[in-house]
Amino acid sequence: MQYHLSCTRCNRRFHIDAPLWKCSSCGGTLEVVSEDIAKGDFDSFIDKGMRGLWRYRKLIPLPNDPVTLGEGGTPTVMRKEPKTELCLKLEYISPTGAFKDRGASVSVTRAKGAGAKYVVEDSTGNAGIAAAAYSAKAGIKARIYVPSDAPRVKKMLISAFGAEVVECSSRDEAAARSKSELKMGEVYIGHMWDPFYIEGMKTIAYEVYENSYRVDSVVVPVASGTILLGIYGGFRFLESLGLVDNFPSIYAVQGEGCAPLYEALHGRIASSRSSRLADGRRIKDPPRKDEILKAIRETGGDVFMVSDEEIAPAMKELYRMGIMAEPTSATVYAAFRKNENELKGRVLMPITGTGMKNTDSLAAVFGKIGLSHR
Amino acid sequence: MQYHLSCTRCNRRFHIDAPLWKCSSCGGTLEVVSEDIAKGDFDSFIDKGMRGLWRYRKLIPLPNDPVTLGEGGTPTVMRKEPKTELCLKLEYISPTGAFKDRGASVSVTRAKGAGAKYVVEDSTGNAGIAAAAYSAKAGIKARIYVPSDAPRVKKMLISAFGAEVVECSSRDEAAARSKSELKMGEVYIGHMWDPFYIEGMKTIAYEVYENSYRVDSVVVPVASGTILLGIYGGFRFLESLGLVDNFPSIYAVQGEGCAPLYEALHGRIASSRSSRLADGRRIKDPPRKDEILKAIRETGGDVFMVSDEEIAPAMKELYRMGIMAEPTSATVYAAFRKNENELKGRVLMPITGTGMKNTDSLAAVFGKIGLSHR
């Protein structure tokens, strides 16, 4: 297949190898577009000898060897509910404990192919950890900009992987400085912008299809929206092959206090409170907001908003199923419980990050350990 | 295939469904033995429709549906060294972040099949977390006995999964009380004793074989020895099918201060210091010690001992490869670095547990985070 980069705003085309993270003409976000989609058998795109994400390397427009730590190929736990069937895809069973590994693997592979000696990312935690780990694997230095109130363990892990941690006063400042301080020869792989990051996320849809799960709706947590856009794009590709009969409706979930998508769709600020639990959620103006809203509207989806009072019991319920979700991941289950009547059929719900990295929130939700001193 | 339980000490046979965790005659450890091994194709034992551990369910003598959270099917990172090739099997990419999930999945599946309403385990952390998670998945209550100095996060996670945490003054007391306080209708699934736990571990060897990695040596951390015995038993089964030409030599690794296997083989107490880092290693008298020593001697292996001064740099090196190992897991890489000349060919090295759960040791090894406030 042939590919190019395309601006999602002005539609300008760029060569697939262009060293860009945004449109050099209008500043819009870029996406990877395939030019010659042949209808036919999805099997022919699968590299059966590979496991995980790179099983689909024929669909990832990068010629060089993958930088991999074994990401992707995540298991699915099915669960019958009164009106629906949940398809919980455990994305936290991943090299650094979060779905971000899919994006980081592809973004760092691209940076390595381009000869990068330094990569730069901005993140509240999980994306930074993934970028640091994959850079380490690739032998490329990394500089990660984080807000200073990001969980301590997450900052510690980024540093342990050998990356430089730059603390900023806010998430916005981290985003701004990561770009303004870029030097010659450094490659910006920021997950909010890098179009290749989303190519990694598309493999979630490919896995769901290959594992024969047909889903009617998808409920995902959204901050920058890479997982939503990846799953959407993956299903669109499968549809172009003639393999999707009913395109799933896509539902985004945001935490109270920072829910720009919810407000864009429902036209009101629903609450003045701010979620303390959903720490991976604080992006006030995601660069791909219009793309995300388009995907939601096109598929008949919606945006759900949840509060800490709803996240905590949802997280407890997930643990009681043996599922170790971090609060940011538990938002989807909270949204499901709250909006069960709106959802139908089989519901794909990625559980995006592990609860192990965020012990403060674990203590906040579960309180004192129920120790027994008999 | 037909199976029975056999005492490793007095060879007494028991029905495979016998509700035993040790020999009712002499108190020895039990093992699962298959009666009618047919030479032939390993492929016929693989359930190709399944992913992970239960892909080998035809080799696990349990008739009921598996209690699964997606354990097994772990990725492998290859790494060329001057004299050897490392085959790092990332066992921490697992539902609760440790290889223990393989054992817990099989043990809890058996307990559920036997109608258990309560399971009991004793552990310094990882095994207890796994037991708690799988019990939650199965809808069975769990009671986990832990030494009070086990890492706080690990105790918190056990409790979050809904299990009862019983704090004991020592690892030995936890082991003793877990058995003495057993009540009618409760099933003891202690990983040091339950023979089915090892059946789960055997799948590591099956995966290595199915993924076409031929290995010459295996280096594993040993406390209770379930992973060593599982890998050994798995390769013995493959050998019985005529599929193993050169049986790999098996090397055990222990931390200073609690190295009963090292002392049994090398006949001396090598140091009076005690490892603070290898917290999953404090079992002074593992019930399966003789089985472990037999496997090591038979295969021409050895026992290596490592100190905290060797573990810390090994852990740092692993992180710089993008591998997030906890100190207990880093012992194998430390032992490899120290004994590189003794090892040859392709070396299988399971990285058994994630560094995310043990933030104290992360801080101990990496010190202050290298934060930049430019």
Domain final position from A161, A188, A215 = A188
Q: Using a pLDDT cut of 70, give the percent of chain B over it.
A: 95
| ipTM value for the complex | 0.93
Check residue A1 and give its pLDDT. Answer: 81
**Residue among A77, A94, A324 whose CB faces B93 most closely:** A94
Domain final position from B188, B209, B240 = B188
**A94 and A108 together in one domain:** no
Q: Is A306 among the domain residues?
A: yes
Q: Is B120 among the domain residues?
A: yes
Cα-Cα-Cα-Cα torsion A194, A198, A200, A204, nearest 10 degrees, comes to 160
Check residue A360 and give its pLDDT. Answer: 75
d(CA B10, CA A373): 37
**B90 and B228 together in one domain:** yes
Check residue A373 and give its pLDDT. Answer: 46
User: How does pLDDT run across B261-311, given as a tens digit for each residue?
Assistant: 999 999 876 566 777 777 655 778 899 999 999 999 999 999 999 999 999
**A120 and A141 together in one domain:** yes
**A166 and A48 together in one domain:** no
**B209 and B323 together in one domain:** yes
Q: Is residue A369 very low, low, confident or very high in pLDDT (cuts 50, 70, 90)?
A: low
Check residue A149 and give its pLDDT. Answer: 87
Q: How confident is the model over B156-168, as a mean pLDDT?
A: 95
Check residue B202 and give its pLDDT. Answer: 98
Check residue B356 and give its pLDDT. Answer: 85
Q: How confident is the model over A118-145, as a mean pLDDT?
A: 96
List B residues 136-195 in contact with A (Cβ-Cβ < 8 A): 136-137, 153, 155-157, 159-162, 164-167, 181
- What is the domain-level CATH number for residue B340? 3.40.50.1100
**A260 and A174 together in one domain:** no
Q: Is B330 among the domain residues?
A: yes
Does residue A281 surpass a pLDDT of 70?
no
Cα separation values, A363 from A177, A372, B98, Å: 32, 17, 21
Check residue B253 and give its pLDDT. Answer: 96
Q: Is residue A339 very low, low, confident or very high in pLDDT (cuts 50, 70, 90)?
A: very high
**A118 and A227 together in one domain:** no
- A48 — contact with chain B (CB < 8 Å)? no
Check residue A271 and give its pLDDT. Answer: 63
**B167 and B237 together in one domain:** no
Chain B neighbors of A108, CB-CB under 8 A? none
B317 backbone φψ class: left, alpha, beta (φ>0; ψ -120 to 50)? alpha
Q: How confident is the model over A284-312, as a mean pLDDT?
A: 95
- Lowest mean pLDDT segment, chosen from A113-117, A275-279, B73-77, B210-214: A275-279
Does residue B369 surpass a pLDDT of 60?
no
Q: Is A372 among the domain residues?
A: no
Kindly report whether the global pTM for this prediction surpasses the value 0.80: yes
**B104 and B94 together in one domain:** no
Check residue B373 and give its pLDDT. Answer: 46
- A322 — contact with chain B (CB < 8 Å)? yes
| Domain with A315 in it | 76-98+197-365
Does residue A56 surpass a pLDDT of 60?
yes
**Residue among B93, B160, B372 whose CB faces A95 most closely:** B93
Q: Is B331 among the domain residues?
A: yes
- Provide CB contacts within 8 A for B245, sequence distance 6+: none
d(CA A115, CA B87): 27
Distance from CA of A264 to the nearest CA of B (A): 35
Does residue A203 surpass a pLDDT of 90?
yes
Cα separation values, B294 from A208, B265, B302, Å: 45, 11, 11
Does residue A247 surpass a pLDDT of 60?
yes
A217-221 and A13-15 strand pairing? unpaired
**A203 and A275 together in one domain:** yes
Q: Is B69 among the domain residues?
A: no
Q: Is B65 among the domain residues?
A: no
User: How does pLDDT run across B216-253, given as a tens digit for each residue?
Assistant: 999 999 999 999 999 999 999 999 999 999 999 999 99
Number of domains in chain A: 3
Distance from CA of A310 to the nearest CA of B (A): 17
Domain final position from B164, B188, B212 = B188
Distance from CA of A136 to the nearest CA of B (A): 5
**B240 and B283 together in one domain:** yes
Check residue A38 and give its pLDDT. Answer: 67
Q: Is A370 among the domain residues?
A: no
**B236 and B209 together in one domain:** yes
